[in-house]
Structure 1
């Protein structure tokens, strides 16, 4: 059974976390979610990782976390600094970051900054690369409204983010999260987060990196991940999860759990 806890970062920001397992089990797996998701996105995956201590975090302004009423306060660096602050306060011994999509970009920045001394490795699941992505004006405008209504959320889930059929329950959980975030957090990623260039910062990364790509992912394609993520890190490895799209943590949690377990065993 997951245990929930709130952590005060500053006067405007409180991070909600979902925790499972025994803190004495090493390493602690720390999960960072995709744009529009929350710690709950990882519940299907974590249900297959019962022997680990896990902490899933809602980014500021998303899920059940709070954030400032400031449209410029949701950059990748802001998100990374929150997580660094939280991990420092928790004083965990061995940490392995698991970052999905936007959460993968945050994880790369944290690792590159080298301010988390007990970080032992990264698992990047369909991660946003450290390179900037600048969308054409029409696509950027469409992204602003992607999570505006229940109908738009369901369309994105079924036609963009997945390549297999989710249960109604899984779809409803995703829709609920997509509609929950505050307006600044929901707009920040398409407005400026995806365009942030963190290539210089990630050059400082010294830990092992595994990238998991979805065979049918149209958001972060295998080719782009090979070129712009794996190619950035000496010794970086890639695995391809067959038959899934961008939301592989929900589409194929058992398969992704095996990827996690094999990487942990290897380090």
Structure 2
């Protein structure tokens, strides 16, 4: 059973949130943060496998999906997206939680985790994550990204040929393209123009909760070796699993596999947290 709600962050920004499953005091809530061009429904297939067992909250970032945002250039930075989530969560009556961030949402999750401004964070899952380092595209690639979501044809091409390595259904491709086109012009421009250049390495180095990184072997957007070098090596005690047949759109291409890895990770986090409370594991020690 899904429930949609809207939460006002400031005078120009409201966040659309989709909740599934039932809160359980013995299990952390899963908070899902989407990629550049996505929305809360990017995770629909993955959440369908998880919501029978976990309380799941998927958020539309400002300017994407059904969320609103200011018509002001520069208002869609990674720092601003993170601040929105940090403002949202205390009002959601969430106790313990795990962040699940895909691509751009993974960079937001790293920043939130490193800043540690919201109580209750127990771990993070980074799916094909953008690295914490500042990243600059060559000018021709930057121009391609700026126009990638300008029409239905270009959005569908990107979804089929760049983001995914699987043969996705026409219905799935259409939904992905619809989300890409729905983003406002300032949200669309932010990632290639400035957000990917934001440096959050210092915050990533400060992450001190368990981290699972899920990568796709056929991902050409965030290749496995770059994820290994620029994400895994900058976060202490992070672990990575590689899904062989998937591209960048892991939550859409292989939702069952992604959900299983998340479920196993949550079980490990819960067991570790219980052991710490019982004094069996010292703070900062993972197993």
The TM tier, using the shorter chain, reads over 0.9
What TM-score do you get using the length of structure 1 for normalisation?
A: 0.98
Shifted more, 21-30 versus 229-238: the winner is 21-30
Runs of 4+ in structure 1 deviating by more than 3 angstroms, as ranges, are none
Residue in 2 aligned with 1:185? 187
What are the equivalent positions in structure 2 for 1:69-108 lying under 5 Å apart?
A: 69-108=71-110
Aligned counterpart for 1:262 among listed residues 261, 264, 273: 264
1:12 equivalent in alignment to 2:49: no
Residue in 1 aligned with 2:119? 117
Question: 2:63 touches 2:187 (CA, 8 Å); kept in 1?
Answer: yes
CA distance in 2, matches of 1:248, 1:21: 22
Aligned counterpart for 1:216 among listed residues 197, 218, 223: 218
* Shift of residue 90, structure 1, vs aligned partner: 1.8
Q: Give 3-state SS (helix, strand or coil) of 1:42's partner.
A: helix
* Shift of residue 2, structure 1, vs aligned partner: 1.2
CA distance in 2, matches of 1:112, 1:201: 4
* Shift of residue 183, structure 1, vs aligned partner: 0.4
What CA deviation, in whole Å up to 9, does each residue of 1:46-73 have, x standing for no partner?
0111211000000000110000111111
Shifted more, 100-109 versus 202-211: the winner is 202-211
Residue in 2 aligned with 1:131? 133
Question: 2:31 touches 2:56 (CA, 8 Å); kept in 1?
Answer: yes
What CA deviation, in whole Å up to 9, does each residue of 1:195-217 have, x standing for no partner?
11111122221111110000100
CA distance in 1, matches of 2:202, 2:239: 20
* Shift of residue 242, structure 1, vs aligned partner: 1.6
Aligned residues: 267
* Shift of residue 239, structure 1, vs aligned partner: 0.2
Aligned counterpart for 2:198 among listed residues 196, 201, 214: 196
Shifted more, 100-109 versus 134-143: the winner is 134-143
Residue in 1 aligned with 2:169? 167
Alignment gaps of 5+ in structure 1:
none
Aligned counterpart for 1:156 among listed residues 158, 163, 168: 158
CA distance in 1, matches of 2:87, 2:206: 19
What CA deviation, in whole Å up to 9, does each residue of 1:218-249 have, x standing for no partner?
00011001101010111110000120000010
What TM-score do you get using the length of structure 2 for normalisation?
A: 0.92
CA distance in 1, matches of 2:257, 2:74: 37
CA distance in 2, matches of 1:113, 1:91: 20
CA distance in 1, matches of 2:267, 2:203: 28
Q: Give 3-state SS (helix, strand or coil) of 2:49's partner.
A: coil
* Shift of residue 112, structure 1, vs aligned partner: 0.3
1:37 equivalent in alignment to 2:60: no
- C-alpha RMSD of the superposition: 0.8
CA distance in 2, matches of 1:234, 1:251: 28
Q: Give 3-state SS (helix, strand or coil) of 2:194's partner.
A: helix
CA distance in 2, matches of 1:209, 1:52: 18
